[in-house]
A and B are shown apart, each in its own frame.
Chain A
Amino acid sequence: MAETKHVEVDLEDIEKICEEFENREGAVVQVLQKVQEKYGYVPGEALELVGEVLEIPKSKMYGVLTFYSQFYQEPRGKFILKVCVGTACHVRGAGLLVDKVREELHIEPGENTEDMLFTLEPVACLGSCALAPMAMVSGTAYGKLSADKMVSLIRQLEEETVHEEETV
């Protein structure tokens, strides 16, 4: 996996976000959500700055950040491949899907591809067990997957990106 490059954090942006919530200590979770919306994850520097503005010690900020699984500490790929590894999907071969992604993209669960296009994220039950094995990418659910279908999904997403870039 590639060394992830962190974004530059601007103090003014952080101050603006904090101000939206009147610099309230109690709004720390909402503030971090906004920060994540802006950067795609919560950069360490941003966390420290939010702490300074809201006057919350770093250690407590980090506690909040790591308590909620919704927050990410590392930049993440454009497409998050949420592969379900819940019980139903598991018995129907979710493991094979995960293995296929690892093999195809050379990333481990939780990692990003070098081009920052994909992140592999095994998740617990996605709630559509009838369609197991399941995966979800950018809000779209893909059911009854097989290793091959997984690969073509990846190819499709790659192509879409190339197209987008060309049209831009």
Chain B
Amino acid sequence: MAKVTINGIEVDVDPSMTILKAAEKAGIPVPTFCYHPRMDPAGSCRICAVELEDSKKVVMSCVTPVADGMRVLTESPKIHEARKTNLELLLLHHPLDCPVCDCGGECPLQNMSFAYGATESRFESHRNDEPEDMKSDVLVFNANRCILCGKCVRICDEVQDVHAIGFINRGFDTIIGPPLGKKLDCEFCGDCLEVCPTGAITDHFVRYKYRPWQLEKQQTTCSYCPSGCQMFVETENEAIVRVTSQEGVGPNEGSICVVGRFGFNHVQIPERFDTPYMRSLHRLVPSSWEEVLPEIASGLNAIRKKGVDRIAGLISTRVPMEDAYVFQSFFRKILHSNMIDTGARYSFMNAALPIVAATGTLRPLVDHEDILKAKVILVVGADPVSESNITGLFVKRAARKERSRLYVVDSEAISLSSRAKDHIRVLPGGEQIFLEVLSEEIRQSGNLGAEWISRKEELFKNWNVDPSAYQRLLADLRSCETGIIVAGRKLFQLETPVAGVESLLKITGDLGWIDRPGCGLFVLPEASNDLGVLMMGASHEWLPGLMDSRDPASRGRWEETWGSRLAYGPGGGLEEILKGIDEGKINALISLGENPIGHFPPGSRVREILSKLDMIVSIDMFQNELSDMAHFVLPASSAYERSGHLVSAEGFVQAIKPTMAYWGESLPDWQILDRLSHAMGSPMGVDSAESVMSEILRFLPDLAPSSRNGSHFVGGTGEIRLATPVASADGCAYGEMVHEGNGLSTKFVSPAHKANRESVSSRYAQWREGIKEEPASPYRSIAGEGEFVLELTKSLFHSGKMTLMDSNLKKIQPEGKLRINRQTARKRKIKKGERVSLRTAYGVCSFIVEPSPAVSEFELTFPVHFANAEVLALFAPGLDFSSGTGAPVTHRIRVSLDSQNAN
């Protein structure tokens, strides 16, 4: 420990600390421009100058380490002069167009100049008059306002690992921008925009549309992916103007991705349903709540009388826990039905079911902080950067800055591959075989027969597995102190996904990871609240708290809680719902933000089956195939208008807050269901989302709101401050203050968000005993000569289908392109932007091509968001469900490719 005196205050700090950090510990702010808590120090702006009392030397506090006995002044006449001179130098070239600058009012440069009276420049020089770089549709670079602090370049390099922008030229002519005078081609996270202390980087969507001080700001949780980002929605007159992040706030620590930052526009467009609609003579006509609710209620009452499980419900997994909770109790208590399912059925359920069976929880054993500390990370069948962007950032950071050994097992190159020690590029679909072999080898720990080994060799040959990379991974997994396996969407959508996930669970157990802190499996749910909605019992399998809905004891427990008998039947999920409707056993469907038609190939009869229903109620924001055939369409409020909680992939339970008024007549889902229950004469009596949450917490106290902040944030004039408390700007607290020692230091403790290892451990042991050891699955189909496997992938720039309505994101990615291996394209003389057609036994569809080195020569990928009926027509029609999990199986297919110009 080193003793340092700063402005007369003594602090004991680690000798490796910089003066800046020590000052912050002493509670003394120091202004900074180029310093940033998540990046390596650059020491270039010189605004953080401090004076050493003994030597009278002026040093840069952000790069100078402390020394024992050091005495520092952060303010002194000398420092004041030094900072003022520095500001004047910065202002030399600055255009002083603050009145029209988007940054005006929240500009550290402006604030500092004001504080130091450096409004006039003493130096003579030309003002920069470099034209703005307007080539990008997203970001605009104004070199004149740039003070060359380099934060934008560094965040793009060090945090995003995208390296899209750099310094160009030198000396006075230096500017920031994308290379070769081309238009910016990057992930459009907007982090550079966020960290820029001036108005040198602005975005096209909101330029000149606002003055920062006129905006109302509300912290909320992003509802797209499961990263659980804390973001700030800024509005003016009930309209969202922009979304920002704040350094250090939330598990995302101040980074948000392109979808969270720019995908806010669809909720404020005229296409949104703003009033209830009722079908009359084949047309949907605008109506009112007063009119539709009694109509729906009497219809539901009549059907309910016929018996249990007569009414089916589907709910999206982007809604808060509260709505999911009300949804399942509405169905089980009021409608006497357990025919309910969630949007997670299409993919994540394939992971959720085996994971709950093995561990009893959906919360992970490890979180992003553990990822940073893990010595070995295996990413298999997942693209973290596009599925859960912040998870991706943490894996990148682990590999780049913490030197953990990263392995990627995937047929495609994902953006993490370049950081991997080994990228084991299996043939499409081989991820699963790989895991089965790996799990068996780990289980047998060396006792493998010659026959098994030769089978393994053959499998590896057939599936293109590099045996030496496999050996390296195996050795690393066995010997590492801490290891984490990240798995995602691709793995959950293979032909027999449960086998893949079970292999992962076996691997984690057999490596002894269940009991070892810092080790475990980290799965990426597909939507922001897959976890929360499932935990609330919105699928037929589970009651709230993941209790078995068919187990009389669990059922009894909730009957007691709710003080009413639960009269639901055996129920079922999507598969049973469609079957029941087809057989006339289900007569009504209420869908909250779900559209099953859009998920199946057009020939699958889904539309035909649904048309047998007496009543379809579609609660949604936009028109879709289901609302087109609905008898009632009810307008739902968006995530930007409602309140509630979401459970992130890390297990945090975080609040979403209303940022604007309900759109038109729209209402949150819980309220629509509550009103319906009143109209039916069986009122649920739900007062508010808050009252639902307190009911949930009474019985499931471990779901108390929790979050995490970064360790530092940047204050208004650029100074760095500690950011330990996990409380939001509006005082919504995630935990409580704990006083330590002499009462001087307080710590904010957030409730546990990870699974409890002990309870997982006992449950797991049981599961492991019971699980059968089956030999690796037989050889499965791969693409034949001249054929490819077509796969629908998640794009970084969209989330689900709803963002296709978002003008900002549509500008960033307007259409879906078929990605094909670059070499293959060259060989077949297919050029970028050309059209090709794909043919299967079921259909033909034409695509615009985009050659890419990322896809392998055996596969083609297309963003799932753009997979409309024409694209889906390539897939086998029919209702094919996985036997273990009831998930539809339609994600990959063999196709042959014809170049348009060839025929």
Contacts and interface: CB of A to CB of B under 8 A. Distances in A.
Nearest to A51: B179
Interface stretch (B87-95, B114-122, B162-170, B543-551): B162-170
B155 to A, nearest CB: 13
Contact of B180 (A47, A57, A67): A47
A60 interface: yes
Contacts of A66: 168-170
A59 B164 contact: yes
B169 A58 contact: no
B178 A59 contact: yes
A81 interface: no
A59 B166 contact: yes
Contact of A57 (B163, B167, B169): B163
A72 interface: no
Given A44-B180, A47-B180, A59 B169 contact: no
A15 to B, nearest CB: 16
B168 A62 contact: yes
B179 A59 contact: yes
B170 A61 contact: no
B167 A63 contact: yes
Contacts of A58: 163, 179-180
Contacts of B156: 59
Contacts of A57: 157, 163-164, 166
A61 B179 contact: yes
A121 B423 CA distance: 49
Contacts of B178: 59
Given A58-B163, A59-B165, A67 B170 contact: yes
B294 to A, nearest CB: 62
Contacts of B163: 57-60
Interface in B151-182: 153, 156-157, 163-170, 178-180
Interface string A32-52: 000000000000100110000
Nearest to B167: A63
Nearest to A45: B180
A53 to B, nearest CB: 13
Contact of A62 (B157, B170, B180, B418): B180
Q: Do most interface residues of chain A lie in helix, strand or loop, or is the interface mixed?
A: helix
A132 B42 CA distance: 44
Interface string B139-153: 000000000000001
Contacts of A47: 179-180
Interface in B57-85: none
B241 to A, nearest CB: 30
Contacts of B153: 59
A60 B166 contact: yes
B168 A63 contact: yes
A47 B178 CA distance: 14
Interface in A83-120: none
A47 B181 CA distance: 13
Contacts, number: 38
Contacts of B169: 66-67
A41 to B, nearest CB: 13
Contacts of B167: 63, 67
Contacts of A60: 163, 166
From A48, A57, A59, A73, name the one whose CB has the most chain B CB atoms within 10 angstroms.
A59
A61 to B, nearest CB: 7
Contacts of B179: 47, 58-59, 61-63
Nearest to A58: B179
Nearest to B171: A67
Contacts of A67: 167, 169-170
A25 to B, nearest CB: 13
From B163, B165, B179, name the one whose CB has the most chain A CB atoms within 10 angstroms.
B179
B180 A63 contact: no
A57 B170 CA distance: 19
A118 to B, nearest CB: 24
Contacts of B418: 55
Nearest to B163: A57
A55 B417 CA distance: 13
Interface in A53-81: 55, 57-63, 66-67, 73
Nearest to A67: B170
B770 to A, nearest CB: 48
B783 to A, nearest CB: 27
Nearest to A60: B166
A115 B581 CA distance: 77
B187 to A, nearest CB: 13
Nearest to A61: B179
A108 B165 CA distance: 30
A51 to B, nearest CB: 9
B826 to A, nearest CB: 11
A71 to B, nearest CB: 11
Contacts of B166: 57, 59-60, 62-63
A136 to B, nearest CB: 23
A47 to B, nearest CB: 7
A103 B166 CA distance: 38
B219 to A, nearest CB: 33
Contacts of A48: 180
A62 B165 CA distance: 9
A36 to B, nearest CB: 16
A58 B165 CA distance: 9
Contacts of B168: 62-63, 66
Contacts of A73: 180
Contacts of A61: 179
A1 B794 CA distance: 47
Interface in A3-44: 44
Contacts of B164: 57, 59
A67 to B, nearest CB: 5
Nearest to B185: A58
A20 B178 CA distance: 29
A63 to B, nearest CB: 4
Nearest to B168: A66
B429 to A, nearest CB: 29
Interface in B461-514: none
Contacts of A62: 166, 168, 179-180
B165 to A, nearest CB: 5
A61 B179 CA distance: 8
A63 B156 CA distance: 15
A66 B169 CA distance: 4
Interface string B751-767: 00000000000000000
B437 to A, nearest CB: 31
A56 to B, nearest CB: 9
Contacts of A55: 418
A44 B179 CA distance: 9
A59 B157 CA distance: 10
Nearest to A52: B853
Interface string A128-144: 00000000000000000
Contacts of B180: 44, 47-48, 58, 62, 73
A45 to B, nearest CB: 9
A110 to B, nearest CB: 14
A124 to B, nearest CB: 13
Interface string B661-680: 00000000000000000000
A55 B180 CA distance: 17
A113 B179 CA distance: 26
Contacts of A59: 153, 156, 163-166, 178-179
Nearest to A44: B180
From B156, B165, B166, B178, name the one whose CB has the most chain A CB atoms within 10 angstroms.
B166
A62 B170 CA distance: 12
9 contacts: A55-B418, A58-B179, A59-B163, A59-B165, A62-B179, A62-B180, A63-B167, A63-B179, A67-B170
Given A57-B163, A66-B169, 15 more contacts: A48-B180, A57-B157, A57-B166, A58-B179, A59-B153, A59-B163, A59-B165, A59-B178, A59-B179, A61-B179, A62-B166, A62-B180, A63-B167, A67-B169, A73-B180
Instruction: Give the 3 A-B residue pairs with the shortest CB-CB distance, closest first.
Output: A57-B163, A62-B179, A59-B166
